[in-house]
Structure 1
Amino acid sequence: MTVVIEMVSDIVCPWCWLGLRRIEEARALAPEVEVQLLFRPYELDPTIPPEGVDYKAYMSGRVSSPEGKERMAAMRQALIDYGNAENIPYRFDAVTHRPNSFDAHRLVRWAQGQGKGGAAKEALFRAYFNGARDVGDHGVLVDIARSIDLDPDIVADLLKSGADTDVVRAEAETFRQMGISGVPTYIANRRVAVQGAESAEKLAKFIRHAASLLPQERPAGQPS
């Protein structure tokens, strides 16, 4: 039996890049469990306009008090330290634009259909948090698609046509209605969940716990 883990995350969430690396490591720590990892959309701020906004102005509006700025600086330093341990090259100082991430989620959906969901997530995280690229821009998304061997012309046409807009929006809303308010969140077989970029060891325990809840397969010929 397979444990289906849905990773609910946003491209502009730095903890989600860490969470991606850790769930992949957790799978390696629990090789006895067959895991299907699926990526699900979540927008931390769906009010961001399609063209995005200035990052510094946006963050100043959200974190204005000296205490809040100190907490933000401490969080960034913690992420940089965690990133160094996980070979994640965060470059927060280079980020100048806060994009709308909706179309990036559409790209992940199409990549996932080709067995490249993980590659798309990794490429998008790297483009934003290391390359400071606008992952809401269609040209950037087409370039990322090309880098993971998706057909760039097809992706460009899909982005332009608005394909899967309603599906992705409905999917993101489903997880909000489920009560998810922070990401990354991992949901196993729609039965158990864990929130936050937990350590790989804790996520491996989560995988094993989810596997223990699966119905046991009966030996061939044994009556049900």
Structure 2
Amino acid sequence: MGIRVEIISDVVCPWCVIGYSQLAKASEETGIGIDVHWHPFELNPQMSEDGENLREHLAAKYGTTPENAQRARARLTAMGAALGFEFNYADDMRMVNTFRAHQLIDWAGEQGHAHVANLALFRAFFTRRENLNDINVLADVAGGLGLNRDAAQVMLESGEKAQDVRDKEQFWTARGISGVPAMIFERQHLVTGAQGEETYGRILQDLAKIGAV
């Protein structure tokens, strides 16, 4: 199965995309397999239904200037391209509430598809600039993965997975996770932020040497 990696992440977190992609590349380059398990974290749990313009949101939350935002977008776009992921930023891009998206991942996980669902939602938000708070958008993502679109829509409309997701979010925040990505290797080694292929490669190799795989 490979080295187990818990990734606490939000699907609108660009560094979560970068960090996972770096880890996946390190796994490929070292030949050491990884067994990834995604866990929910909301960067903006109080976000309104309509969301906010991404640039305005970053300015209000972090004090990010338009110039700094542009530089950050260019850097992320270049880093993503080098890792095989397309960031497609635009001035009208919106930050959205991701609670429903995490419910979809949880539901997909019951069918063994949490990993592909998480990656598909990264692409839906960053590449296609879709609204991940929209039930129809989320149901379409499920359908695109070969899951039952209608069942996904019913689940999201009912909110039946809401408490499960809330409990999982609280599990990690209660253990000190306050930012993402946060990766826990073999249930005991916490690594935060996107650390790069070389660092992840060393981690995988060190764990392989001590018999984690």
Gap change, CA 1:151 and 1:170, over 3 Å in 2:
same
Q: Corresponding residue for 2:4?
A: 4
Q: How does 1:31-180 map to 2 (within 5 A)?
A: 31-32=31-32, 34-64=33-63, 68-93=65-90, 95-180=92-177
CA contact (8 A) 1:3 1:189 kept: yes
CA contact (8 A) 2:55 2:69 kept: no
| Residue identity in the other structure for 1:131 | R
Q: Which moved more, 1:158-167 or 1:47-56?
A: 47-56
CA contact (8 A) 1:16 1:184 kept: yes
Shift in Å at residue 64 of structure 1? 4.2
CA contact (8 A) 1:192 1:210 kept: no
CA contact (8 A) 2:7 2:37 kept: yes
Task: Indicate the percent of aligned positions where both proteins have the same amino acid.
Answer: 29
- Number of residue pairs matched? 213
2:63 and 2:188 map into 1 onto residues whose CA distance is 39
2:96 and 2:212 map into 1 onto residues whose CA distance is 43
2:81 and 2:153 map into 1 onto residues whose CA distance is 34
Segments of structure 2 that go 5 or more residues without pairing to the other structure are none
| Residue identity in the other structure for 1:101 | T
Higher Cα Rg, which structure: 1
Q: Secondary structure at the match of 2:47?
A: coil
CA contact (8 A) 1:95 1:129 kept: no
1:117 and 1:140 map into 2 onto residues whose CA distance is 17
Shift in Å at residue 114 of structure 1? 2.3
| CA deviation map 1:145-189 (0-9, x unaligned) | 011111111111111111221111121122222222221111013
Shift in Å at residue 143 of structure 1? 0.4
Gap change, CA 1:215 and 1:199, over 3 Å in 2:
closer
Q: Corresponding residue for 2:28?
A: 28
Divergent runs of 4+, >6 A = none
Shift in Å at residue 31 of structure 1? 2.9
| CA deviation map 1:107-127 (0-9, x unaligned) | 112222323222212211111
Q: Secondary structure at the match of 1:6?
A: strand
Q: RMSD of the alignment, in Å?
A: 2.3
